[in-house]
A and B are shown apart, each in its own frame.
Chain A
């Protein structure tokens, strides 16, 4: 389908790439369908673009690239809701906030990652209950350098059943 977006103009999206977030996102409960679009210039970033509201898109990033020690244990309820049969089916993305348009001040929400079941195109923002992480971790703690550690880190993703 042809998707009109506020930020990227008109983009062609394959129907099977459309993700369903059956519960929306906190604050955006009315939006249930999204696509992940490739990031601008950098392959590290992506955009979670709403299919239903063209002006709404979230900058997202693979948390393990920036936070190699990040770990998530998806609670039993969410594992079932997302119909996850194995952790390998899940892709994790976190939402980036850029206050005042200053990329140096960018923070990521490690408390509530987006968990996507790639086998079923189902997604949910999971609020981690007993997690040492919060909603605003600086993405570039040493200023504006885009540091991508070689290889993927030791981060872990587990599901509870």
Chain B
């Protein structure tokens, strides 16, 4: 990993069209400004991590849930809905 030290208002260029600026530093919080082409996906890493964890959790579905869903569906049908 490339490690750079930057001060307030200093920036880093990534490739030809991405600029990351350090806008503010306070306690242990860094405020970053990112200039990038509109199509570029920029995500807070924890969002990606949350989706990854949720997918892994969802894939571990108990086989018994199939039967419970069937039962729910039948209940719904009986209720005329």
Contacts and interface: CB of A to CB of B under 8 A. Distances in A.
B42 interface: yes
Contacts, number: 107
Interface of B: 38-43, 47-48, 50-59, 61-76, 81
B58 A146 contact: no
A103 B72 contact: yes
Contact of B66 (A25, A40, A77, A125): A40
Given A42-B76, A109-B54, 20 more contacts: A7-B63, A27-B56, A28-B55, A39-B73, A40-B69, A41-B69, A41-B73, A45-B69, A59-B65, A77-B41, A95-B58, A97-B58, A98-B61, A100-B62, A101-B62, A109-B58, A111-B47, A125-B51, A127-B43, A127-B47
B61 A127 contact: no
Given A56-B59, A75-B41, A109 B66 contact: no
Nearest to A129: B43
Nearest to A43: B73
B72 A99 contact: no
27 contacts: A26-B48, A27-B51, A27-B55, A28-B55, A39-B69, A39-B73, A40-B66, A41-B70, A42-B70, A42-B76, A57-B59, A57-B61, A58-B55, A58-B58, A59-B61, A59-B65, A76-B39, A97-B54, A101-B64, A101-B65, A103-B65, A109-B51, A109-B55, A127-B43, A129-B43, A129-B47, A148-B81
Interface string A39-71: 111111100000000001111000000000000
Given A26-B48, A26-B51, A99 B73 contact: no
A45 B69 CA distance: 9
Nearest to B50: A135
A145 B51 CA distance: 27
Interface centre among B55, B58, B61, B71, by most chain A C-beta atoms within 10 angstroms, is B58
Given A7-B63, A59-B65, A97 B57 contact: yes
A112 interface: yes
Contacts of A42: 69-70, 72-73, 76
A10 interface: no
